[in-house]
Structure 1
Amino acid sequence: MDLPKLAIAALGGTVSMQACNAGEGVIPTVSGETLLASVPELTTLARVTVETLGLLPSASLDFGFLLSALSWANAQIMQGAAGIVITQGTDTLEETATFFDYLWDHDEPLVLTGAMRSANQAGADGPANLLDACRVALAENSRQRGVQVVMNGQIHSANAVRKTDSLALQAFSSPIVGPAGLLMENTVNYPHLPVQRRVLPLPQLTTQKIAFLEASLGADTLLLENILELGYDGLVIAGFGAGHVSGEWAAAIETIARKIPVIVATRTGSGSTAQSTYGFIGSEMDLIRKGASMAGFLCPRKTRILLWLLIGCQQQDELARFLVQN
């Protein structure tokens, strides 16, 4: 039987990390080729090609690098790959998945994975996560689902997945909706059919800057008051509760929203912003009147990525179509 083609890219992260000397912290040193060699079973599932595109901690990834990785993935699909797997660090995995998902216009799966334990640590989870990710990428029922994250036997949609623990093995979850699927006895299982996705064209602009601020008790307005002068093209605020800020912040936001897009999300980690519940100064109703948009269920970090992409492809007028309200 002719095996399908599977393309794997390594970007770095904990899955590629080990300590070079005893007592030192782990750093990215393990190539994609070496990681692949730790999972010999893959050769029975697909004709695998692997490339090491980088050995970076995921905090050092940026949009330009991700666009180049996306270009590589697109080329692999054009060359007949049935699916794509990318390994990277978990610190920004939820953001990378979101970035790719807004731009991934293929039926073939793009699956991201990583590890919570370094390559030479007892019980390293990297090889198992890689094998699971490859199974998901090769599964027929994974088609038309866009970008997904596979960790610890669970499959998460890019728009829902969050890293909710700093060090635990079970670090990823999808608040409210739960995992999109599970791996059970080496079989990929989804309880629901794929849903229609909105995909953006590749950004033509890449120099836009989106500010990100979190509301906190007693916070001053100094940064807010200088957002426009600093040259930002958009602003995302992680607001209190259902999308609230102080009265002082609300006044500053009104001025900013006359010039650039302002989106308010919830900092809580789960749930949606409101639209028409609270009416006090700094509430969601007040901020909407002042020109801000509410992010709905989209978390603040994912909201910032969406706004960067919308401005980059000059579709910021389509913002409301991408924000799911309660």
Structure 2
Amino acid sequence: MDLPELAIAALGGTVSMQARNAGEAVIPTVSGETLLASVPELTTLARVSVETLGLLPSASLSFEFLLGVLSWAKDQIAQGVIGVVITQGTDTLEETALFFEYLWDHQEPLVLTGAMRSAKQAGAEGPANLLDACRVALADNSRQRGVQVVMNGEIHEARYVRKTDSLALHAFSSPVFGPTGLLVEGVVRYLRQPTPRMLLPLPQHTTQNVAMLEASLSADTLLLDSILELGYDGLVIAGFGAGHLSEHWACAIERIAQRIPVIVATRTGSGSTAQSSYGFIGGEVDLSRKGALMAGFLCPRKARILLWLLLGSQRENELARYLNNTA
């Protein structure tokens, strides 16, 4: 039987972690090759090649590193694989997924997965998640769906998935939209048709810096007032409720938005920013008049990634169009 070809890259994260000595905290030590050996069933599904591109906690991944991973993944497609799977830590998995989503211009699937329990912990789900991710990457109905995250038997679109619990096995969900598919008895079952995607070219430069601040009750404006002099090229604010700020922050935003792009998202964890409901100073209507753009359904972290990529390709003037396409 001529099996399809599949490529896996291991970046590190909890799925690769174990303690070197009894009683010690876990660190990334398990290679992709060792992880693959824990899922012998994969050899009956595909001819699999695996590379360990890093052994890092996902908090230490950088945009530049991810661009290298993306280049590797594109090379695998050019060599004839029908899907690519990447394992990494869950702390930044939702951000990595969106980063790749804007840059993945292939019909073949790119699937990300990880684990909430370390490799040596009782009930470690890393091998099961890897097997599920590979099944998704190999499925014919996964084509033209862009980048997806597979965790805990669920398939999530990169645009919507979020880590919504710090330690639970069911840490990943897609608020409002829900998973786009499930794995049922090992079969990939999609719940809805693929949605249109908006791609970006690879960034021409990577030195741009985008700040992210969170609004909070009675917060001062010391950091906000320093954004321009610190040399930031863009700003994202996790605002109250449907995208609201205090009067003091709103006044600062008016000055900043004249110089650099400013996005206001919601800090709530679910739902969209409003567009035309609240007219008080610091409400979304006022902030829009002051030059800020509302993030819609993009959470603050993902809005920052979008802005970084647009700045890197000198297309920040298209920011509103991309934000309007987040649902």
Measured against the shorter chain, the TM-score band is over 0.9
Spell out the pairing of 1:168-247 with structure 2 (5 A cutoff). Answer: 168-247=168-247
Alpha-carbon distance in 1 for matches of 2:142, 2:106: 12
Normalising to structure 1: TM-score of the pair?
Answer: 0.99
2:150 maps to which residue? 150
1:61 maps to which residue? 61
Pair 1:275 & 2:275 matched: yes
Once the two structures are superposed, residues 94-132 of structure 1 have per-residue CA deviations (whole angstroms, 9 ceiling, x without a partner) of 000000000000000000000000001111100000000
Alpha-carbon distance in 1 for matches of 2:315, 2:26: 42
Per the TM alignment, residue 320 of structure 1 is displaced from its structure 2 partner at its CA by 1.4
1:81 maps to which residue? 81
2:99 maps to which residue? 99
Q: Does the residue aligned with 2:10 lie in a helix, a strand or coil? A: strand
Alpha-carbon distance in 2 for matches of 1:293, 1:210: 15
1:50 maps to which residue? 50
Name the count of aligned residue pairs.
326
Residue type of the partner of 1:29?
T
Q: Does the residue aligned with 2:51 lie in a helix, a strand or coil? A: strand
Per the TM alignment, residue 319 of structure 1 is displaced from its structure 2 partner at its CA by 0.9
Alpha-carbon distance in 2 for matches of 1:152, 1:247: 43
Per the TM alignment, residue 23 of structure 1 is displaced from its structure 2 partner at its CA by 1.2
1:90 maps to which residue? 90
Alpha-carbon distance in 2 for matches of 1:19, 1:125: 17
Pair 1:29 & 2:24 matched: no
Residue type of the partner of 2:323?
L
Alpha-carbon distance in 1 for matches of 2:212, 2:282: 18
Q: Does the residue aligned with 2:175 lie in a helix, a strand or coil? A: coil
Normalising to structure 2: TM-score of the pair?
Answer: 0.99
- List alignment gaps of at least 5 residues for structure 2: none
Residue type of the partner of 2:125?
D
Pair 1:309 & 2:309 matched: yes
Q: Does the residue aligned with 1:155 lie in a helix, a strand or coil? A: strand
Alpha-carbon distance in 1 for matches of 2:29, 2:164: 26
Q: Does the residue aligned with 2:203 lie in a helix, a strand or coil? A: coil
1:266 maps to which residue? 266
Residue type of the partner of 1:197?
R
Once the two structures are superposed, residues 265-316 of structure 1 have per-residue CA deviations (whole angstroms, 9 ceiling, x without a partner) of 0000001111110000000000000000000111100000000000001111
- List alignment gaps of at least 5 residues for structure 1: none
**What's the Cα RMSD here?**
0.8
